[in-house]
Amino acid sequence: MPRFGQVLTAMVTPFDKNGELNLDGVRRLAKWLQDNGNDGLVVGGTTGEASTLTDDEKLALFAATVEAVTIPVIAGTVTNDTKHSIHLTKEASKLGIAGILAVGPYYNRPSQAGILAHMKAVCAATTLPVVVYDIPVRTGRKISTASLAKLANEVKNVAALKDASGNPAETAMLMTQVPKSFELLSGDDGLTLPLMSIGATGVIGVATHWTGVDHQEMFKKWNSGDIAGARAVNSRMLESFAYETGDDNPNPLPSKVMMNHLGLDVGEARLPMGPPPSGLAERAEKVFSNLQAARAAATK
């Protein structure tokens, strides 16, 4: 079993009707995810609307999640400000979390040397394992294969990569240059199955909010050598992957609507995401109904 498990969810952050952090909702959602196929949780990430949370809110979110579950909790403590990231990483490391999610520094568009120095400084601020998060579509700067390999080989607590770079061929090259202990985690639901073919041992997903059991089944089939079976399970989830984000309803709007549909009451997203577009709730109901039907058909 991978360090943090096979199936992890980048958890949405529940807010109340006034847009304030809802810690009871955090605990309720975390427990539900643990009970529905998740081996671990990532909080304070992109899906968790980290850029709209204060430091106090983030630390309260981390603590409440750790309190609620027995599975590993990884905390997103890294921003585009290295000094700020170091401070938040140190504070979060006191709360019983299992690891740190370190996203590439966004907006600044630093050089690779700057990215390396930033990541090394964050890693030096904690003894916990660090998952480097490469998502150039949001950060504006790819963490190069050379930089990732350097981090994996030279920084002792760099444990894994959450790969949302959208280039499995390039990631395959990376996996030939890293230690055997280094783990590859898919950060793009639609590319999890392809990434498994080059060594991914897990996923930090979005649709995993409601497809955790399906992902577990896909990994079980893949690991047992049933490739056709794994492809069939992946096909069952394609509608969920298509639903989870889009130009008119970007992540995390669809996931929040889905969780509300399932009775978890996570509220709406904060601005600038804003309220969900009309029709999204009806689409959530259809997506989940179709998923349930596909699950039932697979057991016959």
User: What are the residue numbers of the active site?
Assistant: 133, 162
Residue of 267, 285, 274, 279 whose CA lies nearest to 250: 274
Alpha carbon of residue 216 to chain centroid: 16
Q: Which residues, 6+ apart, have CB-to-CB distance to 231 below 8 Å?
A: 193
